[in-house]
Structure 1
Amino acid sequence: MKLSDLSGRPLTYAEVGATAGSPPPGYRFLRKTSVIGRGRARFEQAAEEGMRFGMLRGAGVRVEATTPTAEIGTDVLGHLGPVPAPCRVVYVVDEPDRRGFAYGTLAGHTVRGEELFLVRYEAATSEVVAEVAAFSRPATWWSRLGSPVTSVLQRLIAARYLRAL
C-alpha cells in the first residue's frame, strides 16, 4: 500500500468526529492523558510537534502524510512494523489552549474508528496535558480473532503516544 493509493478511499465508520464528545455505542473506547510539562512555551512546543504527527512518530510509527502538518483531509499512512494503517484527518482543534487533530480509518485498515491526538494548556495550573482518545472495532476476520491482543496493544501504544511529546 502506498500513500497515493489512499486518495478517494472512504472512511470505514459513520460516527465521524465522535472523539470530540461521547463515544459511540458498539465500539471499544480508550482515553488516556498525561502531564508532559508546564508553561505556555512547553504547550506551544508540544502542540507544534503534535500537529506534525509527533505522537505517532515518537511512538515508533513510521508516518507518511500528504501534508507536513495535520489538516482536514490529510491522508496518513502509518506503519507499525509490516501492518499499514491508512487514515484521514477528519477534524482539527486549533484553540488558544487546545491543539490537535483526529483521524479516521480508511478502507484497508485492520480496525474501524477514530483517534484523537490533543495537547491542552491548563491555565489554572500551567500544566501541559497530552491526551489520546480512540474508539474502534475490528474490521477484518483476523483482527476480530486477535481482538483481546489488539486491545492490549492499543493501550500500550496510547501510552507511548503520550510519552512521545
Structure 2
Amino acid sequence: MDVTYAEVGATREGPLPAGYLHVTRRARLTAGFAEAADALAHWRPQRGAGLRVRTDAERAGLGVEFASGIGAGPLRLWVPCKIVWIEDRPGRFGFGFGTLPGHVATGEEAFLLSTDAEGAVWFEVRAFSRPAKWWTKLGAPVARLMQARVTDGYVAAMRGL
C-alpha cells in the first residue's frame, strides 16, 4: 500500500517540508546504544507512550506495515502506517514511517538513535503532519496537543530504559 504524501524520507535528514506541522524532540538517554536500538526496533516508544501496536512483524523493518491505536476499548482509534526508511549502522539506528490511507493525518514520523563523540546515546523524534480528515481539521488544536503528549510519551519510554 502506498503512503498518503509525496515527501517520503523527508524525516531522515535536512529540513522538514513546508505546509505541515513540524515536531522535533531530542533527548539524551542513559541506556546503552544496543539496548536502546533493541527497544526501538520492538515498538517500545509506541507502547511506552500508551499506544497499542498491531503488526505481523516482530521488529521494525523496511516496508513493515503496522497500526497504532490510541484510546480504550471500542473507542480506540487505529491509524495505519508503513516504515519507509531504515538506518542501521554503527552509532546510528532508526526508521521513518509514513501514513497510509485511513490514517487521520498525512505525513511522516521518525525515530533515530545516535551516539556522539563522547559515547552518549541520543534519541530524536522528527515528524511532519497535517490533518487528513474533515474532523481532524476541525479539531486541529486538540490533535496538536495529543501529538505533543504522545511525543512526550515516546521520549519518556526511551528515557525509562
Cα shift at 1:139: 0.1
Identity across aligned pairs (percent)? Answer: 39
Indicate whether 1:120 and 2:110 are aligned.
no
Indicate whether 1:109 and 2:103 are aligned.
yes
Q: Could you say what secondary structure the match of 1:66 adopts? A: coil
Q: Which residue of 2 aligns with 1:157?
A: 150
Letter in 2 for 1:90: V
Whole-Å separation in 2 of the counterparts to 1:151 and 1:132: 15
Q: Give 4+ residue runs of structure 1 displaced > 3 Å after superposition.
A: none
Cα shift at 1:112: 0.1
Q: Which residue of 2 aligns with 1:60?
A: 50
Q: Which residue of 2 aligns with 1:85?
A: 79
Higher mean displacement: 62-71 or 23-32: 62-71
Q: Which residue of 2 aligns with 1:12?
A: 4
State the TM-score, normalized to the length of structure 2. 0.91
Whole-Å separation in 2 of the counterparts to 1:10 and 1:75: 11
1:32-66: per-residue Cα shift (whole Å, max 9, x none)?
Answer: 0111116xxx1110011101111111111111123
Q: Count residues with an aligned counterpart.
A: 153
Q: Which residue of 2 aligns with 1:100?
A: 94
Structure 2: gaps of 5 or more residues: none
Whole-Å separation in 1 of the counterparts to 2:34 and 2:96: 19
Whole-Å separation in 2 of the counterparts to 1:120 and 1:65: 26
Whole-Å separation in 1 of the counterparts to 2:2 and 2:122: 32
Indicate whether 1:73 and 2:63 are aligned.
yes
Whole-Å separation in 2 of the counterparts to 1:36 and 1:25: 30
State the TM-score, normalized to the length of structure 1. 0.89
Indicate whether 1:50 and 2:50 are aligned.
no
Whole-Å separation in 1 of the counterparts to 2:148 and 2:119: 27
1:86-133: per-residue Cα shift (whole Å, max 9, x none)?
Answer: 0000010101011011100000000000000111111x2221111111
Q: Please, what is the CA RMSD of the aligned residues?
A: 1.1
Indicate whether 1:133 and 2:133 are aligned.
no
Whole-Å separation in 2 of the counterparts to 1:79 and 1:152: 17
